[in-house]
Amino acid sequence: MQPKTAQLKIDDKEYSLPIITGTEGERAIDMRNLRKDTGHICYDQGYGNTGSCESTITYLDGDNGVLRHRGYPIEQLAMFSNYVETAYLVIYGELPNSKQRKAFGHLLREHSAIETQMQRIFDGFPKNAPAMGMLTSIVSSLAAYYPELATNNFEKDLEHFDLAAPMAISKIRTIVAMIYRYRHGLPFIHPRDLPFADNFLHLMFSDPYVAYVPVPEVTNALNLLLLLHADHEQNCSTSTVRMVASSGANLFTSISAGICALSGPLHGGANSAVMHMLQSIHDEGDDGTRFIAAAKSGSKSNRLMGFGHAVYRNYDPRARIIGTACDKLLTRLGKSDPLLDIAKNLEHAALNDEYFLSRKLYPNVDFYSGLIMRALGIPTDIFTVMFAIGRCPGWIANWKEVATNAKGRIYRPRQIYIGAVKRDYVPMDKRG
């Protein structure tokens, strides 16, 4: 029998704290009344050991490399599902039946276009504006263009959720392709009545007179890439979405905050950083020794990109799937990529190095995701915005959990203040 309470002793006073157990046996000490009862708060910089919510969406066991969405192992979803079906599963909790799948697909197709007025936002950006900066601004503007879906009133916003959710996914996909075209000086292309992934490839690669012809291997690889990013428990961007949502903010605004959080190099920005690293190794004719040696210096800015994870102490299951898929895609397309060989050698070297072994640092999803995007013809400057398309279902599902939680409260962590103690104001002429 597992204990139902934990005992905490502060000086000579004892407190009993309830223990909560999740469906997979995860155990947590309920600290919600700690401050009220004892006058103490929990100190957990970066929330690495803090359960900030209860959730039914994703189960992640980082020690054993396990990832499941709504109970379904990522390996099975990768093998049998596609991005749209997995998005539905993540958002609604169940695999769709054929009627639900059709209706969801219909909404994605129907709401894929960006209205002319909204297209004008693009002209306000310099041609070389960073893609993530553009995406955050344009996505946050969805709340202004569709105020009836984004009222900042949970009750009203939930009434429109079944429209707002596919709309967010579909429009963000279109916006990403438009950002690519804008940055590369290409005219915008109107979406067609195509499946989700094919429509994205059309929006990216068609030209006004020659339509992109779907290639099944490419479509499947894109579906896989997006599916593998669909959700990942309480990562930095998803927790940001929940935090913003907890104030009552609407879905579009909460997602745009998630995109801001995703932009950093330690989170979504890692995929392009990996490609820059592999490219420099290639250009310098090095074997990666320099990057591995620098990564071991302990400096944050020299980390081996695509390695390590805040939660996994094992191989990230998504990295394994994507690495194999990348190999297969290149073989099927009859292509080779010297950067893939460099990545494999680098992985081999790191996994045989005491520094990485002792810290349990394995490749994460970003180690191979850039390589598969490169094989798909997607340029490095939009890698991180691609991650944002994939992660939309997770952000949406988490927003919904916050919005539907009648007992939820605004996220408001505390801190330990370590600044100056009280002192009196010093007039300017006495400041020296």
Q: Interface residues with ligand CMC (CB under 6 A)?
A: 232, 235, 266-268, 270, 295, 298, 303-310, 359, 361, 364-366
Q: Considering beta carbons, is residue 102 or 359 the nearer one to ligand CMC?
A: 359
HEC readout, 83-137: HHHHHHHHHHCCCCCHHHHHHHHHHHHHCCCCCHHHHHHHHCCCCCCCHHHHHHH
* Largest CA-CA distance found in the chain, in angstroms, rounded: 80
Cβ–Cβ under 8 Å, residues 288 and 344: no
On whether the CB atoms of residues 388 and 238 are closer than 8 A, the answer is no
Closest-by-Cβ residue to ligand CMC is 308
Please identify, using beta-carbon distances, which residue of 3 and 298 lies nearer to ligand CMC. Answer: 298
Cβ-based neighbours of 332, under 8 Å, separated by 6 or more = 217
**Catalytic residue at 309?**
yes
> Of the two residues 191 and 363, which places its CB atom closer to ligand CMC in the complex?
363
Q: How far apart are CA 219 and CA 59, in angstroms?
A: 28
Q: Output phi, psi for 119, to 5 deg.
A: -60, -25
Cβ closest to ligand CMC, residue 109 vs residue 318: 318
Which CB sits closer to ligand CMC, 199 or 398? 398
Closest CA to 145 of 225, 220, 252: 252
Question: Cα(273)–Cα(401) distance, rounded to whole angstroms?
Answer: 32
Nearest distance from C-beta of residue 60 to ligand CMC, angstroms: 11
Residue 425: alpha-carbon gap to chain centroid: 45
* Shortest Å, Cβ 261 to ligand CMC: 10
Nearer to ligand CMC, 30 or 287 (CB): 287
238 and 398 in contact (C-beta within 8 Å)? yes
Strands of the sheet containing 27-29, edge to edge, are 5-10, 13-21, 27-29
CB of 393 to ligand CMC, least distance (A): 15
What is the C-alpha separation between 88 and 145, in angstroms, rounded? 24
Nearer to ligand CMC, 44 or 148 (CB): 44
What is the closest distance, in whole angstroms, from the C-beta atom of residue 382 to ligand CMC in the complex?
16
Cβ 307 to ligand CMC, closest distance in Å? 4
| 162 in active site | no
Closest to 118 in 3D by CA, of 162, 159, 167, 185: 167
311 alpha carbon, distance to own chain's centre: 14
Angle, helices 251-262/236-245, rounded to nearest 10 degrees: 150
Smallest gap from Cβ 381 to ligand CMC, in A, equals 18
DSSP letter for 186, please: P
Choice among 366, 381, 424, 429 that is catalytic: 366
Catalytic residue from among 309, 337, 341, 353: 309
Question: Residue 149 is encoded by which pair of tokens?
Answer: 């879906």
Q: Tell me the chain's radius of gyration from C-alpha atoms.
A: 23
Q: Which residues form the catalytic set? A: 309, 366
